[in-house]
Amino acid sequence: MSMKTKVYNVTGKETGEMTLPKEIFDVKLNADLVHQVYVSQMSNMRQNSAHTKNRSEVRGGGKKPWRQKGTGRARHGSIRSPIWVGGGVSGGPRNERNYEKIIPVKMRRKAMFMVLSQKAHENLVVVLETLESNGKTKLMAELMKKLPAGQASRLVLYADGNKQAYRAVRNIEKTGVSEARNVNIVDLLNHKYVVIDKNAIKEMEKTFVKAE
């Protein structure tokens, strides 16, 4: 059974229907795969900035604080010791840790198709005839209010080279924007609706389906 959806023009009026490519918008959901790909991408986006200095990196401590015996104080070899104030940290976070998780390209794409298919089945994919707006944010914001997405969060996907669409959408509240060929599962799951024009759908077919 083919997946059909309504098509809207730049004024937000319904102009007809189109059949979505089943290879992208009609893929059976596998929640475990979607979760695995989502977690891997979030891990790859993680910035490992927390870092503490160990006893070999803090300043000072080149000399024994006092002689070993005869002072009545505990034996110490360096003020860099973790038990000293200003000494190195034992067991603290280090920025050498690698959080990267490798997921095969085909698995990533499959999971992305599953999320798009789920949104299509739930009528959360809004197709436009075009995303042309001469780069005017005001015009694009008015269009978004007239579409089924309303005030809900949405991800706008545009075809490669349509920089005017990017400029018009990027400052609209609760709206993400991405080239269709660069869409990822995190952006899809972080937004309720997907707004896409016909050219972007063709580009996704060319990039993700016909290229294989």
- The predicted pLDDT at position 139 comes to 87
CB 116 within 8 A of CB 201: no
Tokens linked to 88: 């190195």
Query: pLDDT tens digits for the chain (212 residues)?
Result: 567 889 999 888 989 999 999 999 999 999 999 999 999 999 888 888 899 999 989 998 788 999 999 999 999 999 999 999 999 999 899 888 888 888 899 999 999 999 999 999 999 999 999 887 677 888 888 888 889 887 889 999 998 878 888 888 888 999 999 999 999 999 999 999 999 999 999 999 988 886 55
Q: What is the pTM of this model?
A: 0.79
Q: For the chain, percent helix, then strand, then coil, each to nearest 5?
A: 35, 15, 50
- In this prediction, residue 8 carries a pLDDT of 92
How many beta carbons lie within 10 A of that of residue 179, not counting itself?
A: 19
Q: Where do the structural domains in the chain lie, given as residue ranges?
A: 3-37+104-209, 47-98
- Class of the CATH-defined domain 3-37+104-209: alpha beta
Sheet with 175-179, side-by-side order of all strands? 14-20, 3-8, 125-128, 193-197, 154-158, 175-179
Q: How far is CA 168 from CA 16, 97, 142, 180, in A?
A: 25, 39, 11, 16
